[in-house]
Amino acid sequence: EVKDLYVNYGAIEAIKGISFTVQPGEIVTLIGANGAGKTTLMRMLCTLLKPTSGTICCNGKDIFSMGSEYRKLLGYLPQDFGFYPEFTVEDYLLYIGALKGIRPIVAKKRVKELIAKVGLSKAAHKKMKKLSGGMKRRAGIAQAMLNDPKILILDEPTAGLDPNERIRFRNLISELSEDRLVLLSTHIVSDIEYIANEIWLMKDGEILHKGSIDKLINSMTETVWECLVPKNRVSDFMEKYKISNMKSEINPVSYTHLRA
């Protein structure tokens, strides 16, 4: 339960009064442009950053005073995660397992299962430095899952994934979300439209919209249009309206415009 959260970085107000309650079984996706405050919010939910004011509680307890009791419930994939480049995928996951305090015998079994789950079995003995961007991301998702967390926080998990990997990722997240809370961020709506049951639209440190994709689309009625215009009118429209997408047809030009 997050209440009245504010974060200032000096003069910058990165989070401006956010409150919400979430629970296991939910998949919440934060969508927003660069700098909207998604990473800042996620870092706070992982206790990596203290809010300037406001509270975050888990089952009624302040997460910052719970220490390892809270972190045992948590799996986190940061936007950039560190690893020793010479480690193989398997060594990397065993190493993270040791840091998380998982007993070696349990970790070994879990690492094997997770490597298969994220589709890295063939690359298990490949060095981390030799993985593609998408494979690294999948190794990152596996490390976040090592302790079977009740709260899974993934910062841009689909960055760098190819179309096949995106499909695999959607299926993986649906499977993982059964008895846990999954909170993820993305710029790419199509990655999550089949899996997220909640979309939160963030802008300038605030959550502007919460709800299903259908609710989000319905709220845009009378605000967003799609129309066809002749080529010689395109610049007029660009001056008058915010254009979210434009597609050229042989003749005329068709595009979607967004009213300011």
Q: How many residues does the chain have?
A: 260
Helix (H, G, I), strand (E, B) or coil at 233: helix
| Beta-carbon contacts of residue 1 (< 8 Å; ≥ 6 apart) | 20, 21, 55, 56, 57, 58, 60
Q: How many residues bind ligand ATP (CB under 6 A)?
A: 11
Contact between 186 and ligand ATP per CB under 6 A = no
Instruction: Tell me the CA distances in angstroms from 110 to 94, 102, 114, 125, 237, one per residue in order.
Output: 9, 10, 6, 16, 56
Helix (H, G, I), strand (E, B) or coil at 99: helix
Taking the complex as a whole, the smallest distance from the CB of residue 222 to ligand ATP amounts, in Å, to 28
Would you state the structure tokens that stand for residue 102, as one six-digit string? 């998982």
Q: Closer to ligand ATP at the Cβ: 14 or 141?
A: 14
Taking CB under 6 A as the rule, which mask of x and - marks residues 20-59 in contact with ligand ATP?
------------x-xxxxxxx-------------------
Taking CB under 6 A as the rule, which mask of x and - marks residues 111-140 in contact with ligand ATP?
------------------------------
β-pair partners for 226 = 256
Burial 223-256 (b: 16+ CB within 10 A, else e): eeeeeeeeeeebeeeeeeeeeeeeeeeeeebebe
Contact between 9 and ligand ATP per CB under 6 A = yes
Q: Closer to ligand ATP at the Cβ: 16 or 72?
A: 16
Largest CA distance in the chain: 69
Q: Closer to ligand ATP at the Cβ: 36 or 107?
A: 36
Q: Closer to ligand ATP at the Cβ: 58 or 159?
A: 159
Q: Closer to ligand ATP at the Cβ: 78 or 252?
A: 78
Contact between 14 and ligand ATP per CB under 6 A = yes
Taking the complex as a whole, the smallest distance from the CB of residue 258 to ligand ATP amounts, in Å, to 20
Contact between 252 and ligand ATP per CB under 6 A = no
Instruction: Tell me the CA distances in angstroms from 124 to 84, 92, 101, 120, 175, one per residue in order.
Output: 15, 10, 22, 6, 22
Helix (H, G, I), strand (E, B) or coil at 6: strand
Taking the complex as a whole, the smallest distance from the CB of residue 215 to ligand ATP amounts, in Å, to 22
Q: Closer to ligand ATP at the Cβ: 34 or 59?
A: 34
Question: Which contiguous run of DSSP H or E holds residue 113?
Answer: helix 104-117
Q: CB-side exposure of 112: number of CA atoms within 13 Å?
A: 5
Stretch that binds ligand ATP, among 9-17, 109-117, 159-167, 171-179 (CB under 6 A): 9-17
Taking the complex as a whole, the smallest distance from the CB of residue 33 to ligand ATP amounts, in Å, to 7
Q: Closer to ligand ATP at the Cβ: 92 or 200?
A: 200
Taking the complex as a whole, the smallest distance from the CB of residue 11 to ligand ATP amounts, in Å, to 9
Name the residues that contact ligand ATP, by CB under 6 A. 9, 12, 14, 32, 34-40
